[in-house]
Structure 1
């Protein structure tokens, strides 16, 4: 079953809820659809329009806008430990965001972690034992720099989270059906799969690299590559949900940087836990 369920009430502010995570512990987690509007400040839209989009989303979720906390993403693997003092960073001014960060973790309540996407892979982490959580942004550069593993390590180091207790989710992103890459990318991916037949272990026969021509180009499955890394970090395969949505195939629902030639908006992933 698709873990990210589309909700369209109201119709102009569509959200995809990570349904199974929104049923306990006061959690909310999910991903916005195109109908929610562009949520990023760096793509040229009017500042007030973006802020209004963000406010509508938090209003719909029943969260105060002051909880909205985001990072300036750089396609790296730095993990920032978000404290109460970070609450609201970047919500209205881009320069105020947590800088040079592609993953955030926290155990604070009433604080919403937010990241932005238009084909890259959103990664979600939650430990129900320590009540700590993480959100990561994994394009191909973040993936090969193992941001998924760094996030699990930081959750363990900071909050004592045990990888076998962590649940993970992989959200809507460009699928292997659409993500064609060249040898420059492939030479960074192959070392992650050493000892596996294109990553087939743990993956129920899914080929992460689908080589198809003699010119060293291939279709790459970034979602399952990140699943592979989550498992390598110690998360149990049965504890990982993965979305089937492809942002490039479904530009009626999502923004896609690749399909729209770089001229497009950004969806946001979010995660937070309300205090009782």
Structure 2
């Protein structure tokens, strides 16, 4: 037992150092959020002169954080639900129908693999042109300057990579479970929803969280397509605190803290599901 504990000491030390490296920037950002520009530039590493939480209320009101929060919340939930539904069927087709459509299944798999390697910044103009086109045929609902116009690029960008992860999870489900369902009279849709879905719940929850946080934090596409501040998402809140010649860095840090805090709470509450889903899909953290 003592030998095992001694062998674990280096791992514990490395874990503590890694944790500090990740936590200290956030802690420093919280301290900076209680300072004004003069304090930040003169003494960035010292404690603020006072912890005035009314600054957070002022920032919340000035940036209309409440409205932006609801915009991001609605967009993230709707996009993630649609995305999970679509990738579930695409993953099932690749993982389970490959014996019947082997070449098409392999082609689809490698297409998703290739698409997941495309940097999102190279697609900003195609996504913008897509939004212009969809705006014309949808009466502006899915176009530029609409939060719902962001759904299509978010779904298109998220499905390839998450499909590959879900395919791995589906292949881990024993075929005997599906064969038993077929013997009991399950059709394709009953097989998917009554057999596959319950067994893959941890993976689906994890992928939903990844999708939700990906949409919540996305900045480049939203900054290109949204111009009306009433439709801004939460990452664009920082634009309220800078202009052409100056920026309120203290207010920007308060905005960052308010953006990150819900995510931290989200992870703390659902960390067991996330770890379980990552272990099932074979994702390594």
Query: When the two structures are superposed, what TM-score results if normalisation uses the length of structure 2?
Result: 0.24
Q: Identify the structure with bigger relative contact order (alpha carbons < 8 Å, sequence gap 6+).
A: 2
Higher strand share: 1
Instruction: Please say which structure displays the higher CA radius of gyration.
Output: 2
Higher helix share: 2
